[in-house]
Structure 1
């Protein structure tokens, strides 16, 4: 997986069609039972309103950094007005959204105490989208697809996604080589025929096949059968704690284990998966890579309460932290550190050659770590060390110096530094604290001006007396 592909997400625009709803949350405390009936009494402390249904897919797309053009209908009612206003405030293209008096905007209200739902009530009238709307967007096909790199059909089974509307979008997208990703609902999957990706869960797959699926053999048979029946390129089966299974015409079934993380709330995880898959496909990732990234994305949102989303920074941080080594390049480091800063973490930076890693280096890392929450260490490349220390250095090549640093518990991330000073890295990363040895305290260090220009600070630490790589090399040679 390349960072360059992830950077393409900012230039991607998704065409999204589906059921738009309002998610309402009433938060409060429960400390007593009603004297009128054996039910808990919620003492309301706050209220919250969010985009729901296809609107949560919108939230996922924009927090990952892409753009959205939306298709759909709402009612001529306060909830419908709120949806249109909220979409506009988020900078979403709403020129193809329409209000109709015969449509009732769907809302779901959740009563919550201590981040636990104990009641939900829905206000909805399920009916097909007006024929006039489908005809209207059909007449505007050329402009509708302009600048679009992926199409998502977010079907919540509330009537927006009819066979006519879905077929129009799938055929129009394929004429332009644009991938179509379906988040399905119900048992009539014929309307999704010829889509690129469909993302049911195991229960939904069982419903459409007319029987519960209990064994791996049953799941394999059902997945292959459904993919062939409706001529999908890929069936992407979401399996909760088991991750994702990918069905295609070449490999059969491939399984991708779920990323390990504490589950708080699975609400909206399907929206995250379909959003991530659409954006990653448009960015040029393979279906297999899309499954890995979608698993990671879903694990992050499931660790949050409610229909949550994730940023590209969070996705990058999780991907790096799930790897074997802590080595990051500057682009990846920018994503990771931005995510950590969003969480209120203080970033500490230090740098050096770290040739022949010794106790003095370790002492400096432990001191630096105390200035914040995350320590990133920049290590000079072999070429840089030669320029600074002479042609006989380094004694230990950069690959092994990096491995040693990555093995230290007190070091969170390691980055290779090609320049002779850390100024370019500090300009790119903006660490909160930059750490130097006290031998630099009264010198004119080049990074001081850069650090202070964005509000960072430079801290100086004690060095272990008599412990230096130069001394160690001299002692070895003498002996």
Structure 2
């Protein structure tokens, strides 16, 4: 039973207020600190706090930055005719063939439930029910392309280890070729393990060795690009800052793309923005955009200013900033900001949502859509996957239904 005088009153309204201030994961760990401080307090207060923590698990969504709209900006409104055009465009995605170049990850999920706090330390005890291994990072981008009945090839590094073998098996399951996969004995296959209880990540731990490819392995990657680039309709660079995407590789890719008039779509990390010059479009999230533009984004005017700075600095055609529950914002050179509200009905997990965005965006550009139309479809796809728990994809049927 809950103590009415407790600083953690057990009510839906109180929980809702708390979650508006902090994302559930932050609430968890702030709560664990308080548990330590309340170790000598009554069991009644202790139980009350834990009920708030577990309620935070089950609630969906991570609060994001909601910027105020600018009257001068464009926003998406879809007529019946436009919806039909977008659905028809999705139907042509199967003709596209995409090269996905980037950091390959295996996502390991351990699923369970939490019913108590450990007596050994202020941490939850997770009763494990099951676990699975999924394609992650650049491999999840590839998986999202295959989910749209399209074709793609993945190029990146994995280890000469059991996890690398398992990843090749996952690629075979979706029918993807593995000719662009380069194996190395100098690093393990990157593995991200997430423990999830009541739809909330409790903790994540990574097993990896980052660093640039050796000269020999870089030569293998460049050789694959040279041999196969002519068969692709677009190139995606998926940078997770693990070392695969370095300056020599990007210089080589750009030199080869000069001979091909195909889109280059980059999901960047902000540590080395100079590597991403000359892209057709870059897709940072809000936090990455702030770092790359070196400014805080508090409203839509800031959003447009940051996008303009990035577009000019990196000489890209466009910048698409993903904003979580606030949707997306597209800036094209010489055009006013184009804002796209979220299409998500529920937000359970944002893991891999950026992968879905860049995969769908690339498919749209590959079949000749405008950046605005491709981004609008990508926004629908993102709205689907955040309503699922764990690394997920959006199928063609789901996407057509979401567009309406």
Q: 1:19 & 1:35 partners in 2: Cα distance? A: 39
Query: What does residue 167 of structure 1 align with?
Result: 251
* 1:145 partner SS: helix
Unpaired runs of 5+ residues, structure 2, are: 1-84
Query: What does residue 395 of structure 2 align with?
Result: 311
CA offsets, 1:189-212, max 9 Å, x none? Answer: 111111101000121011122333
Tell me if the contact between 1:206 and 1:212 (Cα under 8 Å) persists in the aligned partners: yes
1:111 aligns with 2:195: yes
Higher Cα radius of gyration: 1
1:298 aligns with 2:382: yes
* More displaced 10-residue stretch of structure 1: 4-13 or 65-74: 4-13
Residue 3 (structure 1) shift:
4.3
1:254 aligns with 2:366: no
User: What does residue range 191-340 of structure 1 map to in structure 2 within 5 Å?
Assistant: 191-320=275-404
CA offsets, 1:9-67, max 9 Å, x none? Answer: 11211101111111111112322333333322222211111111111111111101111
Residue 141 (structure 1) shift:
4.2
1:20 aligns with 2:129: no
Query: What does residue 58 of structure 2 align with?
Result: none
Residue 142 (structure 1) shift:
4.2
Tell me if the contact between 1:137 and 1:144 (Cα under 8 Å) persists in the aligned partners: no
* 1:122 partner SS: strand
Q: 1:82 & 1:152 partners in 2: Cα distance? A: 23
* 1:84 partner SS: helix
Q: 2:87 & 2:288 partners in 1: Cα distance? A: 34
1:121 aligns with 2:205: yes
Tell me if the contact between 2:87 and 2:403 (Cα under 8 Å) persists in the aligned partners: no
State the number of aligned residues.
320
Residue 248 (structure 1) shift:
1.5
Aligned mate of 1:59, from 132, 143, 150? 143
The TM-score normalised by the length of structure 1 is 0.64
Q: 2:216 & 2:249 partners in 1: Cα distance? A: 11
State the superposition RMSD in angstroms. Answer: 1.7
CA offsets, 1:419-452, max 9 Å, x none? Answer: xxxxxxxxxxxxxxxxxxxxxxxxxxxxxxxxxx
- Structure 2 vs 1, CA of residues 214 and 33 (structure 1 numbering), >3 Å: closer, same or farther? same
The TM-score normalised by the length of structure 2 is 0.76
1:72 aligns with 2:156: yes
Q: 1:107 & 1:139 partners in 2: Cα distance? A: 26
- Structure 2 vs 1, CA of residues 137 and 105 (structure 1 numbering), >3 Å: closer, same or farther? closer
Q: 1:32 & 1:2 partners in 2: Cα distance? A: 48
Aligned mate of 2:263, from 179, 186, 192? 179
Q: 1:136 & 1:58 partners in 2: Cα distance? A: 20
Q: 1:39 & 1:222 partners in 2: Cα distance? A: 40
